Structure 1
Amino acid sequence: MKTIYIKIMLIALSVFVVSCDDDETLSNTNVSPVSELYSPADNTFFNLGAASSALFEWQHAKAEDNGIVLYDVVFDVESGDFSNPVYVMPSDGKGLQNTLNISFTDLNRIAEMAGIESKNSGKLKWTVLSSKGLNIQKSSASGVIEVERPAGFPSPDELFILGTASEAGTANTDAIPLKKIGATQYEIYTSLKPGDYHFITRKSDNSLVYSINGTNLEEGGATTYSGEEKVYRIQVDFSDGSVNMVEVGEIKLWFPPTGEFMFDFEYKGNGTWKAANVFIEFKQEGWGRDERYKFRFMIDGQEMWYGSVNGDNQRPSDDSDLSFWYMVPVTDDYWSNCFKYNGNVDEKNADIEIIFNASVPEYTHAVTPL
């Protein structure tokens, strides 16, 4: 009987100890709410078109165990109560610091989520959450900032063109990708025919849609094209919502050894041109055979030259890196930045293809002997 009594006492004691440990563990997660927001001051105005950032700062919260405190900054619409916030972001230092330095690019995205349209101003409400991962405390203080969104839009990871006026047709799955040429810039060389076209950010049904209105990019809608079927270079910049669209005319190969513009390049679709089955002959010089060439594009009625990234080149071989044929804008200098033909095309027929689309790492060309 005495043994049973001792066992009962030991069990009761162990339960008491575990309960105390649990209470102590839970109490170690207690933190105070942030009591004061330091900056920005209420109704501070930010023009988000600038390449800058905003600094949010608040008073430290206190942890019951004197340990670290984690912070999240919460953004909501001006009339919101943070029960369904627009966006939540950890503070600097992965949530450890009592500051948040947020870029205007990110703040612009948050403003868009809050329903503030581009080229318009509106207000965002913010506060801070403090915690140790549990027992999250919302500050009783909140602030309001006013932001003006730029004409641009958050830049998507991809951009495609489609529509009856485009080469792609109307199915999302057939949309043609634009080439990303900068952090916020896209470009495509494509033909347009009478009809409508627009841009999408993904091939799925929940894509964002953009269209062109004059020289501006707009959300939603479609652009009507009513002119003759022509090839265009379309450049889109999401940072300021601008569009540049110019006609691409004749393309010729410049052969400086004889001072001639050679071959007719026919547009074949998807940003490619081809001079098919053309006869190539190098020029005999006293020192050997000269095989240098580059390209002249007529864009918006003006000459634009494309050549090699190198001022001078050695003759390539079948084993040369593909980057040898990459095409970059160059000057109209008679000899500079010329490519050289592979020796296997001298006095032979060949196909010359120019490829300016998103399928290649850089705009390029290929010379294929027949």
Structure 2
Amino acid sequence: MKKILIKLFTVASFIFALIACSDDGEVRDLDVTAVGSLYEPDNGKSIVLQASASATLFFEWAPARAEDSGMVLYEVAFDEADGDFSDPLFVAAADNNGGSNHATFTHKQLNKIAALAGIESAQQGTLKWTVFSSKGINPMKAEEERTLTLTRLSGLADIPDNLYITGAATESGDDLSNALMMKKLADGEFEIYTQLTEDESFKFVSATTGTPLEFSLEGEKIVEGGSSSVTKTGVYKYYLDFNIGSFTTKEVTKVNLFLNWSQMKIELPYKGYGVWELTNHTITGLSGGENSDDRYKFRMESSTGETEWRAINNDSKPTGNEAYYYMVEKNNVEQWTNNQVWKSPATDGWSDKTYDITFSLNPEGSYTHNLVIK
């Protein structure tokens, strides 16, 4: 086969060979009929592939018959529009480990198959499909073939399950085994807040061992291979969406603790690995309501403007649950908003006390913070 073949026939052949033998060792007939008709999808059907993990396409065909009246196995084969299935692009077992006369393919699987057929990202192209039936050996090609026109996703065909950043520009250096894990937001979507060193290279990889897939950034697109760099040392956020093959980035210039009543901003230095931290900091000079109101949140300044980090879904005092301190980024920057956080334990004010303040966007855990009154 030209490309990866998903085969169950090796094991199945052994099993059926045993089943097919009579007690005296005589091999029974393993012949099956060819599938007579293909049912779904319709011949010439046109599909615009979707990035959703739940997007699927159903294939169905008429059952074949085995001469021994036993179970028949099926495989769905795909080939180029002018192919004859003598060397298919891709072969996969039907549902139920090959035992059903139907199969379900996700759009992401079809996107990879389309790429094998030479259809470019975001472009439309046509391929053929058919079904092979067998008892584990001597597969019979269906009497019918059908075409399928696919419009590929604009992203890459090979979407990694996990993503890491590595290279001399990164906080962990260019040792692949130390590559920094990026936060997985959804299938094909990853982000990280990390410091990068100017004029050094970095890249994104799918694993920290072996020979992983490698990616870099070119223009506004994610591309296979290569490396990237920044022109200024700083803390950056990178968000990569492999489903559409694009990315966004911003330089984070400052993270502040923001006290709601007084509107006091207290800057947290960047510590490393997505964490900002200020220790042994004493707040002074507040009085009255601006001192006693316990509500606070965080503000982030970046190359794209100012945003706020607030609790995910609460407007009440702490409950003791660590999820209370989980944070989410919001674009509406105002003095009073929903989902502010209350200082705990409540005291007689902010002023004349010393604090340790940690704001963590480390990708290996929940985005969260900690405020300790010393």
Using the size of structure 2 for normalisation, the TM-score is: 0.79
Shift of 1:183: 2.4
- Which residue of the partner structure matches residue 9 of structure 2? none
Shift of 1:314: 1.9
Q: Which moved more, 1:306-315 or 1:71-80?
A: 71-80
Shift of 1:170: 1.4
Shift of 1:55: 3.8
1:292 is aligned to 2:295: yes
Structure 1 unaligned residues grouped into runs of 5+: 1-17
Letter in 2 for 1:197: F
The whole-number CA distance in structure 2 between the counterparts of 1:74 and 1:240 is 27
- Which residue of the partner structure matches residue 167 of structure 2? 163
> How far does the alpha carbon of each residue in 1:88-140 deviate from its partner, in whole angstroms, 9 at most, with x for none?
32324553443333222111122334554434455544321223445543335
The whole-number CA distance in structure 2 between the counterparts of 1:127 and 1:151 is 26
Letter in 1 for 2:209: S
The correspondence for 1:251, drawn from 230, 251, 255, is 255
- Identical positions, percent: 33
Letter in 2 for 1:63: A
Give the number of the structure whose alpha-carbon radius of gyration is greater: 1
Contact 2:59 2:102 in 1 (8 A): yes
Letter in 2 for 1:37: L
Q: Which has the higher helix share?
A: 1
> How far does the alpha carbon of each residue in 1:235-278 deviate from its partner, in whole angstroms, 9 at most, with x for none?
11111011111121222111123x22232111122111112221
The correspondence for 2:93, drawn from 90, 94, 110, is 90
Letter in 2 for 1:171: D
The whole-number CA distance in structure 2 between the counterparts of 1:354 and 1:161 is 21
Contact 2:32 2:66 in 1 (8 A): yes
- Which residue of the partner structure matches residue 4 of structure 1? none
Using the size of structure 1 for normalisation, the TM-score is: 0.80
The whole-number CA distance in structure 1 between the counterparts of 2:84 and 2:191 is 42
Tell me: CA distance 1:205–1:94, structure 2 relative to 1, closer, same or farther (3 Å). closer
1:337 is aligned to 2:339: yes
Letter in 1 for 2:250: V
Tell me: CA distance 1:344–1:38, structure 2 relative to 1, closer, same or farther (3 Å). closer
- Which residue of the partner structure matches residue 28 of structure 2? 26
Shift of 1:50: 6.7
Contact 2:22 2:28 in 1 (8 A): no
Q: Which moved more, 1:300-309 or 1:241-250?
A: 300-309
The whole-number CA distance in structure 1 between the counterparts of 2:328 and 2:234 is 23
- Which residue of the partner structure matches residue 105 of structure 1? 108
The correspondence for 1:183, drawn from 177, 182, 187, is 187
Q: Which moved more, 1:137-146 or 1:243-252?
A: 137-146
Shift of 1:66: 4.0
> How far does the alpha carbon of each residue in 1:48-95 deviate from its partner, in whole angstroms, 9 at most, with x for none?
357654343333211234454332212345566656544332324553
The whole-number CA distance in structure 1 between the counterparts of 2:278 and 2:148 is 59
> Aligned pairs, how many?
344
The whole-number CA distance in structure 1 between the counterparts of 2:70 and 2:185 is 47
- Which residue of the partner structure matches residue 8 of structure 1? none
The whole-number CA distance in structure 2 between the counterparts of 1:130 and 1:281 is 80
